[in-house]
Structure 1
């Protein structure tokens, strides 16, 4: 789940997108004070997802040299078009590399890939 991934990446809480402004502000203030923000039903989902056996987090992910380059650029905030220009490859090739990277490192979007790259010291 997104919540389990958030926990694995170090999130201090989770606020549902349907939350009102007061709940959002309260959550931000709580996290700023160093507190965690979790609802009981969210914690149940997280503990269930985290209990599911997964690939060991310390296992090295075999990215190709080009995939590593794409990931570094992605984590630096470049768009696919900018990555293509920087690496002198086509936009479509960049899209393919990004999809391979996401699949190999086990994340579902560019933001999660960027966080993974930072945590692994690639950026």
Structure 2
């Protein structure tokens, strides 16, 4: 019995190429295709594939949003992200949400099929070349968690306002505290998260999902 796969990618040529690669030996069949995130969600509810090959960059609803929606709706499908993005932040986001696999579009066809078969067996597959960067970032994130946990509730509120681009006076008004208190909090924040200026503090907040970019 062949593995039923759905392709979600906004590039027609990419979908055609992947389809030919996957269906060559008859063990995998592509049963549906979508060229944007909304279409992907609609198709998923009607075709019920075993595995969804999901691109990150798609119009209307991107791959990360699709992944979040699938988990929210508790749709039973295994998800393999197939993308041009090798940035570890995309990988971390996908792993956090609960992706089953993550490989690059320039991977060999044999590796793509290996990833699909691993996922079907209940394993998680991360392209080996991405693993060192992932492990390094996970260690770094553990350190970041310790730093975040060292902040008081008020310091977290001040840090988020700093990351939102607010000045001390605006933060004081927003949180109903004095400017002097804001300055003291910011000084403590810088020490606890090991940064030296507001820009670095904002980057720290964004990287650790303390605020949203969208």
User: In the TM superposition, what are the counterparts of 1:36-51 in structure 2 within 5 Å?
Assistant: none
2 CA distance for matches of 1:93 and 1:71?
A: 13
Per the alignment, residue 95 of structure 1 pairs with 183
Asked whether 1:77 is paired with 2:165, we answer yes
2 CA distance for matches of 1:98 and 1:73?
A: 11
Question: Which structure has the bigger radius of gyration?
Answer: 2
2 CA distance for matches of 1:102 and 1:117?
A: 12
Q: Higher strand proportion, which one?
A: 2
TM-score (norm 2): 0.31
1 CA distance for matches of 2:193 and 2:174?
A: 23
- Quick one: higher RCO (CA 8 Å, sep 6+), 1 or 2? 1
Post-superposition CA distance 1:31-77 (Å, at most 9, x none)? xxxxxxxxxxxxxxxxxxxxxxxxx6322211000000000000000
2 CA distance for matches of 1:120 and 1:67?
A: 15
Post-superposition CA distance 1:78-107 (Å, at most 9, x none)? 000000000000000000000100110000
Structure 1: unaligned runs, 5 residues or longer: 1-55
TM-score (norm 1): 0.54
Match of 2:195 among 107, 111, 116: 107
